[in-house]
């Protein structure tokens, strides 16, 4: 990886639209997963700065929020940045995606911003890559791969997770679907059929989806726990708890819990945060994904295993830098001449 930090003076300012981001990422799932794994390992080695996310909320629209994720990454290159991502669930009813985002990359030497990227695709891809990386590592530690995959929630994130699981070699004998919207559930079923994913089944009841799946992907917009029954997980599935707020504390306490960063997961009313408030400790967390990757954390086959990723800003940064470098290499980087105009101290 390389950034404008190697150049003298003020860097050019580039704008990378979603079409370019999509073209770079499409078909490169394994490379994206590799970039996300590298960022996780740098984070585990203390070579990142990843402050708390900052939530902008609105008294008149409690379901909506805009989140700032600042971060700094020191790998082959040193870069800072910020993702600014909005979540307005009511958009879905009007045909718009729930989330929209931009990401700013900052030169580590001067602090100047050098790129603005459309980031809803980056956010979805890094989330899916994290999920696929965790599913692979946890399955390997358990000694078997799931053959029945269930999707709880059917939006953009679910679609990307499906793509990245497929690229990681996960093939399902049956794919289950559950969504509060029958229309969205049927749309996701049609997408799965077009993608050649075999037998896709829509489940009206959440219990049926959970009990019939060995790998469960929670990708909802739930603001508070809605799955309260530990016995639904008595078949000990692998759970990718991407949306973080679906599982009640009693379910969390009955599971073997893995996080991407435990400190970050104990905030913002996540399921893990609520569980910590209830029991007064964090002993129910077994370790982090980096610990699993390094072989330091076991993943038993006789308990449900739940991966809860808070979604670290360093992952967005790593993937944005990957996109920036690919666009630069192919000669299609679009810059904004004169973006910075006041460059002399006294005019």
Rounded CA-CA distance 115/113 in Å is 6
| Tokens coding 254 | 């009955």
Q: What is the model's pTM?
A: 0.92
- φ/ψ of 112, rounded to 5, equals -70, 140
pLDDT digits (tens, 9 = 90+) for 53-62: 999 999 999 9
pLDDT, position 93: 86
pLDDT above 60 (res 2): no
| CATH 3.40.50.720 domain span(s) along the chain | 138-308
Going by pLDDT thresholds of 50, 70 and 90, the confidence category of residue 126 is very high
Q: What is the pLDDT averaged over residues 32-56?
A: 95
pLDDT digits (tens, 9 = 90+) for 169-222: 999 999 999 999 999 999 999 999 998 877 999 999 999 999 999 999 999 989
**What share of the chain has pLDDT > 90, as a percent?**
85
pLDDT above 60 (res 7): no
| CATH 3.30.1780.10 domain span(s) along the chain | 4-122+313-329
CATH of domain 138-308: 3.40.50.720
Beta bridge partner(s), residue 99: 87
pLDDT, position 75: 82
Cα Rg of the chain, angstroms: 20
Among residues 323, 307, 25, 332, which one has the least CA distance to residue 138? Answer: 307
Please name the CATH architecture into which domain 4-122+313-329 falls: 2-Layer Sandwich (3.30)
Instruction: List CB contacts of 237: < 8 A, sequence separation 6 or more.
Output: 146, 210, 213, 214, 215, 216, 304, 305
């Amino acid at each position: 990886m390389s950034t404008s930090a190697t150049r003298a003076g003020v860097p050019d300012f580039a704008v990378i639209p979603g079409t370019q981001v999509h073209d770079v990422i499409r078909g490169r799932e394994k490379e994206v997963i590799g970039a996300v794994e590298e960022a996780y390992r740098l984070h585990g080695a203390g070579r990142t700065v990843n402050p708390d996310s900052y939530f902008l909320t609105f008294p008149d629209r409690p379901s909506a929020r805009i989140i700032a994720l600042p971060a700094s990454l020191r790998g082959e290159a040193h870069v800072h940045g910020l993702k600014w991502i909005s979540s307005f669930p009511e958009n879905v009813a009007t045909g718009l995606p729930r989330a929209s985002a931009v990401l700013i990359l900052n030169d580590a030497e001067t602090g100047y911003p050098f790129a603005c990227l459309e980031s809803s695709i980056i956010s979805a891809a890094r989330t899916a890559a994290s999920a696929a990386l965790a599913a692979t590592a946890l399955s390997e530690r358990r000694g078997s791969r799931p053959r029945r995959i269930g999707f709880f929630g059917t939006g953009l994130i679910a679609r990307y997770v499906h793509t990245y699981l497929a690229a990681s070699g996960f093939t399902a004998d049956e794919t289950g679907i559950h969504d509060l919207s029958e229309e969205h559930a049927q749309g996701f079923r049609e997408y799965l059929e077009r993608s050649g994913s075999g037998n896709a089944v829509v489940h009206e009841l959440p219990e049926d989806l959970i009990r019939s799946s060995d790998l469960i992907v929670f990708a909802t917009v739930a603001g508070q726990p809605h799955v309260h029954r530990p016995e639904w997980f008595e078949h000990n599935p692998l759970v990718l708890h991407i949306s973080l707020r679906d599982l009640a504390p009693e379910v969390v306490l009955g599971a073997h819990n893995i996080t991407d960063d435990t400190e970050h997961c104990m905030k913002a009313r996540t399921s893990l945060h609520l569980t910590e408030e209830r029991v007064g400790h964090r002993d129910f967390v077994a370790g982090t994904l980096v610990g699993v990757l390094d072989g330091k954390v076991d993943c038993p086959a006789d308990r449900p295993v739940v991966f809860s990723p808070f979604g670290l800003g360093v992952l967005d940064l790593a993937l944005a830098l990957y996109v920036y470098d690919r666009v630069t290499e192919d000669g299609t980087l679009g810059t904004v001449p004169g973006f910075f105009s006041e460059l002399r101290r006294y005019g």
